[in-house]
Structure 1
Amino acid sequence: MSSEAEGTFEVDGVSLYTKTWTPTGPTKARLIFIHGFSEHINRYNDFFPTLAAAGIQVLGFDQRGWGRSAKDKSDWGLTGPTARVVADVAAFIKHNTTEEVPVFVMGHSMGGGEICTLMADEKYADVVRSVRGWILECPFIGFTKTAEPSTIKIMLGRLAGMVLPRHQLTHVVPPEDLSRDQAVVESIRNDPLCHNTGTLEGLASLLDRTALLSSGTVKVSKNVKSILLQHGTGDLTCSFDAAMKWLEQQTEVEDKVAKPYEGGYHQLHSDLCKEEFGRDLVAWILERSEGGARAVEAKL
């Protein structure tokens, strides 16, 4: 069982919508969650209570331009450049870090790419050091062959973005590519907060982050203690191979685990394998909390 609470988080003069799922019993760990493109934290209303029931408190927020943090249609996709996006994520982590229980950070899709970028940014070394473990659910580290935009489309978009950075552009990720559960597909299709709208600046920054992560040159900070990568082999949106390659390249992280889900689609938390995915996630977090955390530290 868990209790839910809505709130706001103030950063750089902007108020962002937040939601927290808290265990009714003892809290064994705290999980800070970063959502993906064209979604919002309330898309996880069916999943996060299962984590809270296991003693894991979950805190999340709707990023700039998304969900309830976008107060008007003119705000849709208005994320700002990568520096702004990463600063928001780092500020939310810092605001919610506690010494009472170990803190974990999880990112899905676009959010996964964002926390990979944060892990490698020495500007946020103190924030990274405070996190016990990082979880990547189908992170956006590379496109699948069918989802990759053409070079011409990217070039034209960049040129237009230099002139009109706040210009909004619709980019639809087909709902049927996200989950094998048809009820979930329909709920995404009918969710008015999944608006599929980005700005030229925001989309260009997203592409730049992804290109850098897939280049093989990005190494996470030595302060990163543990990484769990959970990825569906049937993901039609973000490349399974690119994510696995990225993890292999993080040679200084000794405690890293890759868990593939055979045939799993992009939203593992709402796919047909969601129960296995949830069990693996809970087990990994709790193993690194309390006595488990000390055991892992001893290996490092």
Structure 2
Amino acid sequence: MAIRQNIAAEHIPIRDNTHVYIKEKQQLEKRTAGRNYAPSVTIMAGRNSGGRSTTSSHPSVVSYGREVNIVERCWEVLPTGSKPKAGLVLIHGGNWHSGWFGELGDLLSSAEYSIRVSAPDLISHGLSDDPVPGYRAYCPDFASQAEEVGAAIARARAALPKGCPLFVLGESMGGLCALQHLISEKANDLTDTVDGVILCGALLQIAPGLLPPKVVFKRQKLSERHKIDAVFPLLQAVGWLIPSLGVPGAAIGGETFDTAFGDPAVGPAARADPLVTEMAPPRLGMMLGFLKAMDVTKREGPVKLKVKSVLMMHYKGDQRTLYEDCQRFVDDLPMEDKVCIPLEGDSHQIFQDTPEKSKKHIETVGRFITERAG
């Protein structure tokens, strides 16, 4: 995969309170202790421990003028040495990390399903490094995340037996990153690389309530969807000037953070996880990147997405990403093998639901893959 030189020295911001909320700055200083890379921590035992996965480190395929490594988890199939029926690359959502998918990786890689699972921590997430020192969950060029997805897919393909089916699962922002790669020229230059894609609460339209600044809408009687169109020019202008500026009033934590999980125990555990940066506000440059990516994906996806099979799972009342846009996207896809599973409720992350529901969702993914793996 080609290396892109995309970060000039002038893009690296001065770290002061103009660019960073005071609260976030204090949290970052505690978590990073002055280091210029992702914090090395002992993950607490539990649902965010990564299960029986092993980790490996890989140089970023994007050049930032400094060393940036991507940490990836892998769940090899059991019994050890047995041949996998399929492979799955899992892409987590924004401000999250791969350690939260231990239950999924453990179950799908068991003898019951024999699916090899791999899951990178995206740039500046989890145990992966920061391209801009001291800024967590920030990537100056959102398209770089899609390139890392492509690299993870290439690693997974190389690790699988020849002809073994490969699927990609993207949750929330991870769904957008996965689709952004899969409709790119790089993905379409290759044949038989990915057989199917699984979208779980995929970010194809951010909920209007998460789009700031609210002052933009104060005197405008706009529908929720038109609010998104109204805010874009302002974000574009300011974001071009100060891409690292935190978006006012848009912390990923916010009012809908705890409601994103069907299991009420997950919210407090996530807030205590030093690798979950729920209070970090989206940066304008990155927000502009995924707003653009959403637009391009919805317009070009139905033409350029070449996978054979698609599974969509999404809560109909999701308060962070909109169900209707994801449903419409899948409806517009030309392939015949499409499965849409609307879920009742207003949660967002389907694998952090109650243990019973989470296991059911994992089993649905396992059946979808193995039925197509033959």
Report the TM range for the smaller structure's normalisation. 0.7 to 0.9
Residue 218 of structure 1 corresponds to 301
Which one of the candidate residues 257, 260, 265 is aligned to 1:175? 257
Using the alignment, how far apart are the partners of 1:265 and 1:145 within structure 2? 16
Equivalent-residue separation in structure 2 for 1:222 and 1:89 (angstroms): 15
**Structure with greater strand percent:** 1
Aligned twin of 1:40: 97
**Measured at CA, do residues 77 and 85 of structure 1 come closer, stay the same or move farther in structure 2, by a change above 3 Å?**
same
* Structure 1 residue ranges without an equivalent (≥5): 292-300
Cα shift at 1:217? 4.7
Tell me the residue number matched to 2:11. Answer: none
Whole-angstrom distance in 2 between the partners of 1:244 and 1:168: 31
SS in 2 for 1:96: helix
2:55 paired with 1:55:
no
Q: Distance in 2 between matches of 1:246 and 1:236?
A: 18
Residue 168 of structure 1: how far off its partner (Å) = 4.3
Q: What TM-score do you get using the length of structure 1 for normalisation?
A: 0.86
Q: Percent identity?
A: 24
| Aligned partner of residue 17 in structure 1, secondary structure | strand
Query: The residue matched to 2:103 in structure 1 has which SS?
Result: coil
Aligned to 1:211, what secondary structure does the other structure show?
A: helix
Paired with 2:69 and 2:303, the residues of 1 have a C-alpha distance of 30
CA distance in 1, matches of 2:367, 2:273: 31
Kindly state the Cα deviation for residue 148 of structure 1 after the two structures are TM-superposed. Answer: 4.3
Equivalent residue number for residue 158 of structure 1: 236
AA matched with 2:238: A
Q: TM-score, normalized by length of structure 2?
A: 0.70
Q: For 1:121 and 1:127, how far apart are their aligned partners in 2? A: 10
For residues 92 and 77 of structure 2, what CA distance do their matches in structure 1 show?
21
5 Å matches for 1:227-266? 227-251=310-334, 253-263=335-345, 265-266=347-348
Aligned residues: 287
Could you tell me which runs of 5 or more consecutive residues in structure 2 were left unpaired when the two chains were aligned: 1-50, 213-226
Following the alignment from structure 1 to structure 2, what is the Cα–Cα distance between the partners of residues 5 and 282?
A: 21
Aligned match of 1:296: none
Deviation at 1:145, TM superposition (A): 4.6
Runs (4 or more) in structure 1 with deviation over 6 Å come to none
Structure showing greater Rg: 2
Question: Which residue identity is paired with 1:226?
Answer: S
Instruction: Tell me the alpha carbon deviations over residues 11-70 of structure 1, each in whole angstroms, 9 at most, x when there is no partner.
Output: 235311111112222322111111111101112223321212231111011111211113
1:208 pairs with 2:292: yes
CA distance in 1, matches of 2:359, 2:52: 21
